[in-house]
Amino acid sequence: MKVLKKGNYKLQAWSLKVECTGNGWANNNRPCHSILELEDGDIVKRKYQGYGDSCPSTGYGFICSECHCFTEIDESLIPKEIKNYCPQVAAKGSDYYSELTDEEKKLSEVL
């Protein structure tokens, strides 16, 4: 591919202070309640379908670096550019695990 004119789009630096609460997914890991500062590369998405739901939903959150617990955060706090490109995680054996790339499966191993 030949670049005719370089673009100037850059994702602005983004961070968010959060607490590891474990809210959003009972994944058998207990939350450690550490206070963390997230950056764009820390955000992951998770598809799920609740009991009685006709369509899957998507939640966004992070996997704590201390205890490996997933905590969902309010998606309105995450820029659209980050949500569009973050990796997906799923529990082994879930309906969505087969949709993951090898890299996403490795990321999901701690859950």
Whether the CB-CB separation of 72 and 111 falls below 8 Å is answered with no
Please state the pTM of the whole predicted model: 0.81
Mean pLDDT of 67-81: 93
For the cut 80, the answer to whether the pLDDT of residue 111 exceeds it is no
Per domain, the residue ranges of the chain are 15-108
Evaluate whether 86 touches 97 at the Cβ level (below 8 Å): no
Q: What is the pLDDT of residue 49?
A: 73
Please determine, for residue 27, whether its predicted confidence score (pLDDT) is greater than 70.
no
- The pLDDT, as a whole number, for residue 1 is 86
